[in-house]
Every structure is written in C-alpha cells, then in structure tokens.
Amino acid sequence: MFYCMPHHWRPSDHLERSPQPGVWLLVRRGTRVGSVEYGRVRGQQAFRGVTAGGDLVGYAWSIERACDRLWDWSVRTARGGIMTAWPWPPIQVSEMEWVVMRNSPSQPKGAVRFFPATAEHPAYYRATTWSIRQSDQLLIGYYPTLDLADAAILEDPPGRIAHGPDRR
C-alpha cells in the first residue's frame, strides 16, 4: 500500500541553485528576494541570509532556517529585489480568456476567463488551473482584476481560493 504525505509549503520551496558554489537564490514570482550562503561560524557549518541589496539578515544552522529568516524579512519589510523577465504577463488567447505560464514558454500553469457584469453580479475574472479539457480544470478563485487572478495562479495558496465572485 502506498501512502501519500501532503506537502506543506515552505519558503525553501522557492530556493534555486546559483552558479556560484555554496549559494542558493530565494526567488518569489520572478523577483530575487535574496540569497542563502553557506559558510562557517565558530567552526561549525552555517548559513546566512543576504538581501538582494547585499544586507545581512541573519545566520542559521540550517538552510531551511536561513531561508525562513530571509523570507520573513521580505514579508515584514515588503521588499524584494530585482525583477527578472519571469513571470510573463498573462497571454490573451481569445477576447475574454488568458493563459498564465510558468517559467517555461511551453508549460501553462493556469487559465483566466473574464465574465462581464450582469444584474446579478459585478464583472470578475475566474482563475483555474491549466488543463486541455475544461472538465479537468480546478477552480482557484474569482477576482476583480486580471492582475489579482494572475497572482493567484502563480502563487496558488489555499487561502486565496474563493467560492464565489467578490461582491465588493
């Protein structure tokens, strides 16, 4: 029998190996938050979190903890780093439908469809996961703007999932 353990999101899920030895880049939605660097402190292996601007955030004994500290710093200060070319903006495929890509020109992550306002509800954008067949798409949520729908698809955290259009 095979058991599947759920994966709980951690900031280290956003770590990417740098070409520089002993350095990992923390990248969130194409923005470099900073880096985690391997080194030694008091004769023991340690990791330090460094912002994209080169400021030291702190030291930790594990890469996970250094990454957590760097992530916490970026959330607390609402600062990231230098924007790269990814993520690409949504690609319009029809008058009212867009595809959201991952960091690959051929691998879609989600789809967004615009629904105009009616007497029953305001205009909204519905974000879903990507699938060739519409019946296999999973709902991510309803959003008042294309930018919010795009962000929800790229991040896809459970807290952003909505069950109906936002009526604000």
Instruction: Give me the pLDDT at residue 20, please.
Output: 78
Per the listing, tokens 């991510």 go with 140
Helices (H) and strands (E) in the chain, counts: 2, 10
Mean pLDDT of 134-147: 89
Beta strand pairing call for 97-101 and 108-115: antiparallel
Amino acid at 36: V
Mean pLDDT of 88-98: 83
pLDDT tens digits along 43-88: 778 888 888 777 777 788 888 888 888 877 777 766 554 434 445 6
Instruction: Give me the pLDDT at residue 55, please.
Output: 78
Instruction: Give me the pLDDT at residue 13, please.
Output: 63
DSSP string, 13-73: GGEEE-SSTTEEEEEETTEEEEEEEEEEETTEEEEEEEETTS-EEEEESSHHHHHHHHHHH
Q: Tell me the pTM.
A: 0.44
CA–CA distance, 34 with 144 (Å, rounded to integer)? 31
Q: Which one-letter DSSP state was computed for residue 130?
A: -
